Amino acid sequence: MEKYQAVSKNIALVMDQVEFVNGKTRVYGIVGDPIEQVRSPEMVTWEMQKRDHNALLIPMHIARDEFDSVMPHIMRMRNLDGLIFTIPFKAQAIALAKTLGPQASQIGAINALKKHSSGAWSGEIFDGIGCVEAFKQKGITLQDKRLQLIGLGGAGSAICVALAYEKPKLMRLFDINPQTTERMAKMVNTISPQTVIEVGLPHAEGIDILLNASPVGMLNDARLPLAVEQFKKELIVFDAIVMPENTPLLSLAHDCGCQFVRGREMMLGQISKIVDYFFAP
């Protein structure tokens, strides 16, 4: 009987070593082109397995010109329950959703798609929601605050909409494209009519929270996204940039004794909210 037991142990050993996937695992994917740089597979899988879900998120590399034809078929995989979209698919992916969350409707883009038990798929964009969540995690409320937001591109417009839903007292908006600024100002007004809206060159006077969602300060760019030499220490500073962690703006905020919120905290906040969304009933 020793031979029997030896083989049984062998199998048990395998089953013990690979605890993260089995036949019952629910599959999620992040879809992008390119895909190798994404961090969601580790981070979302960690968040899901930490919450005791038998689920993991894999990278899915779909070519740009095949996205529209391939995705509806991939979504027929019965044990696929959700998708995240990254560059260049956030706008295109909206066509895959039967229903949209409020922020996706405003922005015209999604980065998460969730299958309901009915089989229907709904989409929402979480870039801005992740930013708001990062503030909440630090006990900072946005309601009735005076905000300066710099940059209203892909991430910036999503952050702008999410901030508006928090009903701040004032939002100053700046983007290098004045038409974009104008469009986002109208959107903020629709979402939160009581918020005072200002547009123009960015500054930190009369502002409680300064948010950068422009690319200024990314990688080896040593510039600040606004003309300033120092901040009052009561100012709270946010930078959406993930690389480097230590942007010129956050360095200045740190040197001035300001509280700050970083791009990676927004990323973690976003992951937490996307996993909430995926597993909500």
Chain residues in the site for a second copy (CB under 8 A): 1, 3-4, 7-8, 10-11, 14-15, 17-18, 20-25, 27, 33, 35-43, 45-46, 49, 56-63, 66, 69-70, 73-74, 76-79, 245-246, 254, 260, 262, 264-265, 268
C-beta separation of 55 from 48 below 8 A: yes
- Closer to a second copy at the Cβ: 3 or 220? 3
Look at residue 56 and give its three-state secondary structure. Answer: strand
CB of residue 81 to a second copy, shortest distance in Å: 11
CA angle at residue 233 from 227 to 234, to 5 degrees? 105
Q: Cα–Cα distance between 126 and 116 in angstroms, integer? A: 18
CB of residue 14 to a second copy, shortest distance in Å: 5
- Closer to a second copy at the Cβ: 140 or 268? 268
C-beta separation of 274 from 112 below 8 A: yes
- Closer to a second copy at the Cβ: 130 or 168? 130
CB of residue 262 to a second copy, shortest distance in Å: 6
Strand-pairing partners, residue 124, are 112
- Closer to a second copy at the Cβ: 40 or 181? 40
- Closer to a second copy at the Cβ: 15 or 95? 15
CB of residue 4 to a second copy, shortest distance in Å: 6
CB of residue 160 to a second copy, shortest distance in Å: 24
Q: Which residues of 92-106 are buried (b: 16+ CB within 10 A; e: fewer)?
A: bbbebbeebbebbeb
